Amino acid sequence: MRRPNYAFRMWTKQPFSNKLLNRLRSSRYLLVLTGAGVSAESGVPTFRGKDGYWRKFSPQELATMDAFEKNSELVWEWYEYRRGLIREVQPNPAHYAIKDLEDRFAEFLLVTQNIDGLHQRAGSRKIAELHGNIWRDRCLKCGQVYDHKEVKLKGVPPKCACGGLLRPDVVWFGEALPQETLLQALQAAQFCDFLLTVGTSALVQPAASLPLLAQENGAFVVEINLEPTPLSERVNESIRGKAGEVLPGLVKKL
Ligand code: BJW
Ligand code: ZN
């Protein structure tokens, strides 16, 4: 049987190679890329996992402009359900470990695909939200952005003061990512020394390209995930384990 040509370690008491630790300790600029798996241990369902959202609903039914135009009530109900769920949960040890990493590196950027705001609640500040934030609404007519706390939903779909229809300020399939945020993430990938990709299936572009872009530019790239992903064979090291266990273990080793 062909052996995989990448370093892969199960989460054991010592999942970190000396090479990984040396590269991390000597890095000046750390980029952390996160996905839904980082919030899973807080109780937020992932998209494609065992109890993921996409197992119950099709993305085309819920996370596209087409879907919103066809049935904005259904899409809003889904977001209201998720807001209710996210409101009740707390950041987990993975979120706090990432905040600790931010404090330990001269240069740092957290690029997240998550829209739940849990990184901010754990204290992360240097953060680029690629797919928007579930706590904001945006008017389709005048572009006004509302902090959701100011918007009282008197039923769905909610309306702007101008009469326009509000939508969640998140990025759906086929939509451009916020330009400045994407640029910030691309620059970080080009200039970082070390990239940690955590809890993402690495299926959704352009986020999934960031680790390889960083690697092409000389960074050491490490994946932390419960399962293999399309990146696993390409990164420098892939660690199978729970983000909430592996990341605090890594911080302790610094
Ligand atoms: C754990 C764990 C634990 C669990 N510990 N790990 C072909 C090639 C290239 C691109 C395309 C293509 N065809 C179409 C595209 C484009 C498309 C795309 O990538 N599609 C692919 C599916 C093929 N991309 C887009 O459309 C993007 N826009 C774009 O390309 O624009 C171009 C453009 C330019 C100019 C003008 C116009 C257009 C936009 C993508 C938007 C994605 N949006 C969503 C919804 C956001 C809002 C919401 O949440 O409601 O973002 S989809 C969903 O997927 C969400 C996530 O952020 C994103 C990524 O998912 P993630 O985070 O990776 O979660 P999962 O569930 O997939 O994985 C979880 C992982 O965690 C698993 O691996 C588990 O094993 C692991 N895990 N527990 C560690 N405890
Ligand atoms: Zn408006």
Please report which confidence band the pLDDT of residue 195 belongs to, taking 50, 70 and 90 as the band edges. very high
- Positions annotated as catalytic residues are 131
Mutate to test the pocket of ligand 1, among 38, 175, 200, 204 (most ligand atoms within 8 A of CB): 204
Which ligand places an atom closest to the C-alpha of 144?
A: 2
pLDDT at position 50, please? 72
CA of 204 to the centre of ligand 1 (A): 3
The token duo for 129 is 């939200």
Please name every residue paired with 43 in a beta bridge, in sequence order, or none if there are none. Answer: none
Summarised one tens digit per residue, pLDDT across range 99-116 is: 999 999 999 999 999 999
pLDDT at position 155, please? 78
pLDDT at position 148, please? 81
What's the whole-model pTM score? 0.95
Residue 170 CA: which ligand 1 atom is closest?
47
Mutate to test the pocket of ligand 1, among 205, 209, 223, 235 (most ligand atoms within 8 A of CB): 205
Residue nearest to atom 40 of ligand 1 (CA): 173
**Averaged over 217-242, what is the pLDDT?**
97
pLDDT at position 150, please? 63
Which ligand places an atom closest to the C-alpha of 52?
A: 1
Which amino acid is present at 184? Q
* C-alpha count within 13 angstroms, C-beta hemisphere, residue 232: 18
CA 138 from chain centre, in angstroms, equals 21
CA of 150 to the centre of ligand 2 (A): 14
34: exposed, middle or buried (Cβ count in 10 Å: 0-12, 13-18, 19+): buried
Please report which confidence band the pLDDT of residue 190 belongs to, taking 50, 70 and 90 as the band edges. very high
CA of 182 to the centre of ligand 1 (A): 14
Summarised one tens digit per residue, pLDDT across range 48-96 is: 877 777 777 777 678 999 999 999 998 999 999 899 999 999 999 999 9
The token duo for 240 is 């199978």
Mutate to test the pocket of ligand 1, among 54, 83, 173, 246 (most ligand atoms within 8 A of CB): 173
Please report which confidence band the pLDDT of residue 223 belongs to, taking 50, 70 and 90 as the band edges. very high
